[in-house]
C-alpha cells in the first residue's frame, strides 16, 4: 500500500474529502459551488484566485472540502498548486460553448496525465443545460473523447447551476465513488436511494 493511499485512508477515517473544481473560465464552477452552498447564484464574477467551501451533503457523512479555482487561460498553470491530496476532480463544462470544446478536451487530457491526480475520481458536469443550443451528453462525450479515459473512474451528469438540476446527484455520485474506492464507504452511511444514476454512454441523457 502506497503512502498516498495510507494518507487518503486516514483522511477518510476523519470523514473528509478534498474535491477540486476545475474547467475553462465561464464554465460555471463558482455558480455550482454557490448553488450547493445555498447562496445567491444570480451574480458571479470571474475567479482570479480560488474559493474554498467546507460543507456536508445531507445524504453523506463526509465533510467536503471543495476548492474552486479560476479557469482563465493565464491562471491554468496555477492549477497544479491545488492537486495535492485531491480525492476527486469535478470538471465543469459550459455545454453551450461549442467553440471551445477542443480547448476543453485538451485541458482535461493534460489534467488526467498528472501523477498527483492519478487516484482521483472524475465527475464531469455538463453544465448550462438550460441554455438553448447546449450540447447533450452524447455530444459532450464525443467532443471530449470521454470514452478514451481509462485512467480514472468517471461519470458525466447533465446539469444546470441556474436551476440546480442534477447538481446534488452528481456530487452524490462522486462522494460515493471516492468512498467506495477507498474501502471506507459503508452502505449504511450514504443513503443509496438519494443517489441518482449518472448519465454515461450506457444510459440515455435525461432532460434537465
Ligand atoms: N444559463 C446558465 N448560466 C450559467 C450556469 N452556470 C453558470 N452560468 C453563468 O455563467 C457565467 C460564468 O459562471 P461562473 O460560475 O463565474 O464560471 P466559472 O467557471 O467560475 O469561471 P472562472 O471563475 O472564470 O473560472 C456567469 O454569468 C453565470 O451566471 C447555468 O447552469 N446556466
Ligand atoms: Mg469562478
Distance CA 93, CA 142 (A): 13
Distance 160 CA to ligand 1 centre (A): 10
Q: What 8-state DSSP symbol labels residue 62?
A: P
Reported pTM: 0.87
What local confidence, expressed as pLDDT, does residue 117 receive? 98
3-class DSSP string for 36-61: HCCCCCCCCCCCCCEEEEEEECCCCC
pLDDT level of residue 202 (50, 70, 90 thresholds): very low
Report CA(184)–ligand 1 centroid distance (Å): 34
d(CA 190, CA 183): 13
What is the mean pLDDT of the segment spanning 95-111?
A: 98
Does the residue 174 lie in any domain?
yes
Residues in CB range of 72: below 8 A, 6 or more apart? 25, 46, 48
Q: What is the CATH number of the domain that holds 136?
A: 3.40.50.300
Identify whether 123 is part of a domain.
yes
Q: Is residue 80 one of the residues assigned to a domain?
A: yes
Q: Is the beta carbon of 44 within 6 A of some atom in ligand 1?
A: yes
Q: Active site includes 72?
A: yes
What's the mean pLDDT in 26-35? 98
Residue 41 domain flag:
yes
Q: Which residues are CB-neighbours of 42 under 8 A, at least 6 positions away?
A: none
197 part of a folded domain: no
| 200 against 106, higher pLDDT | 106
Q: Which atom of ligand 1 is nearest to the CA of 23?
A: 19
Q: Could you read off the pLDDT of 138-181 as tens digits, one per residue?
A: 999 999 999 999 999 999 999 999 999 999 999 999 999 999 88
Does 13 map to a domain? yes
Residue 136 has pLDDT above 90, yes or no: yes
In a domain, 31, yes or no: yes
Closest protein CA for atom 2 of ligand 1: 128
Closest ligand (CA of 34): 1
Q: Is residue 50 part of a domain?
A: yes
Residue 14: per-residue pLDDT: 65
Give the position of cell 455520485.
Answer: 173
pLDDT digits (tens, 9 = 90+) for 10-20: 665 668 999 99
- The pick from 27, 71, 160 for probing ligand 1's pocket by mutation, whose C-beta has the most ligand atoms within 8 angstroms, reads 27
What domain count does the chain have? 1
pLDDT tier at 2, thresholds 50, 70, 90: low
pLDDT at position 197? 36
Average pLDDT over residues 27-52: 96
60 has pLDDT over 90:
no
Phi first, then psi: what are they for 147, rounded to 5°? -70, -15
Q: Which domain holds residue 125?
A: 3-184
Amino acid at each position: 500500500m502506497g503512502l498516498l493511499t495510507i494518507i487518503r485512508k486516514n483522511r477518510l477515517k476523519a470523514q473528509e474529502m478534498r474535491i477540486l473544481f476545475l474547467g475553462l473560465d465561464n464554465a460555471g464552477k463558482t455558480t455550482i459551488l454557490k448553488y450547493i452552498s445555498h447562496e445567491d447564484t444570480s451574480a458571479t464574477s470571474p475567479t482570479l484566485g480560488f474559493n474554498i467551501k467546507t460543507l456536508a451533503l445531507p445524504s453523506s457523512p463526509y465533510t467536503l472540502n471543495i476548492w474552486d479555482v479560476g479557469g482563465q487561460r493565464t491562471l491554468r498553470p496555477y492549477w497544479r498548486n491545488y492537486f495535492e491530496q485531491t480525492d476527486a476532480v469535478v470538471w465543469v463544462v459550459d455545454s453551450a460553448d461549442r467553440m471551445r470544446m477542443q480547448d476543453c478536451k485538451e485541458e482535461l487530457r493534460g489534467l488526467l496525465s498528472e501523477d498527483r491526480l492519478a487516484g482521483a475520481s472524475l465527475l464531469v458536469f455538463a453544465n448550462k443545460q438550460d441554455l438553448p443550443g447546449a450540447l447533450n451528453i452524447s455530444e459532450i462525450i464525443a467532443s471530449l473523447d470521454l470514452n478514451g479515459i481509462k485512467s480514472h473512474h468517471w461519470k458525466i451528469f447533465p446539469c444546470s447551476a441556474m436551476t440546480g438540476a442534477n447538481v446534488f446527484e452528481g456530487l452524490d455520485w462522486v462522494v460515493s465513488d471516492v468512498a467506495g474506492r477507498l474501502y471506507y464507504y459503508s452502505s449504511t452511511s450514504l443513503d443509496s436511494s438519494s443517489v441518482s444514476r449518472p448519465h454515461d454512454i450506457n444510459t440515455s441523457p435525461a432532460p434537465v
